[in-house]
Amino acid sequence: MKSYVAYLRVSTQKQGQSGLGLEAQRAAVGAFTQAAHLVGEFVEVESGKQNQRPQLAAAMVLAKAKGATLLIAKLDRLSRNAGFIFQLRDAGVDFVCCDMPDANTLTVGIFAVLAQHERELISQRTKAALAAKQAQGAVLGTPANLTPAATQKGRDRNQANARANEHNERAAAHILLLREKGFNYSQIAAKLNQLRFVTRTGKVFRAEQVKRLLLRATA
């Protein structure tokens, strides 16, 4: 029977204490393993920007000792840094992600690079836009936007955008994997819909959206 060591990560202490995010990851792990043997579970409370992961190190040690596979609910729970994921890949520990179970080493690497590149582009565009505003004499920050209601609205919008970007990244990784296997755009769209992926606007995937997302991912 195949055995696994589960690794879960949340970004804040508050999330770790409340269980927010952990339950969804545990549900994904449970659905993936089913009758398989779960050797252990390790929970990390650490930002994705940080690469100091004592719980991940402990999970890797146990996985090696037991000949088990390291299991992560979602690839982005490992790190936001592509180099870190490559180091883990090269460390000799077998690992699999519940959201990308068929991914091979090449696909995982491509996905990691795409995710990091997208975050870097967003950061660069934001900094450039703010610098341009300041150069034009604009005063950054609006008092009306600092009310509790406005702050919550902005937080909700940012979270929605983050989820949309995350879904696009995961969908792009699946598209790359399925194209390698010879699937056409319509077949890939059907597969994404079967896996309950949705487009950024919340609609089902069609061949044209698949093609557009693939072009964006490989541009």
pLDDT tens figures, 4-39:
999 998 876 544 444 447 888 888 899 888 878 899
Q: Which of 162, 9, 7 is nearest to 96 (CA)?
A: 7
**Residue 40 pLDDT class (50, 70, 90 cuts):** very high
CATH of the domain spanning 3-97, picked from 3.50.30.40, 3.40.50.1390, 3.50.50.60, 3.40.30.10: 3.40.50.1390
Which amino acid is present at 25?
Q
**Euclidean distance between the first and the last CA atom of the chain, given in angstroms as a whole number:** 42
Q: What is the SS3 assignment for 195?
A: coil
Predicted confidence at residue 109, as pLDDT, reads 66
In the chain, what are the domain boundaries?
A: 3-97, 147-219
Strand partners, 70: 5, 95
Predicted confidence at residue 125, as pLDDT, reads 80
Q: Which residue has the higher pLDDT, 55 or 100?
A: 55
Q: What is the SS3 assignment for 110?
A: helix
Arithmetic mean of pLDDT, 106-129: 72
Predicted confidence at residue 19, as pLDDT, reads 44
Strands 3-10 and 69-72: parallel
Predicted confidence at residue 6, as pLDDT, reads 92
Residue that is written with structure tokens 């000799």 in the block: 92
pLDDT, tens digit, for every residue of 152-166?
Answer: 777 666 555 544 555
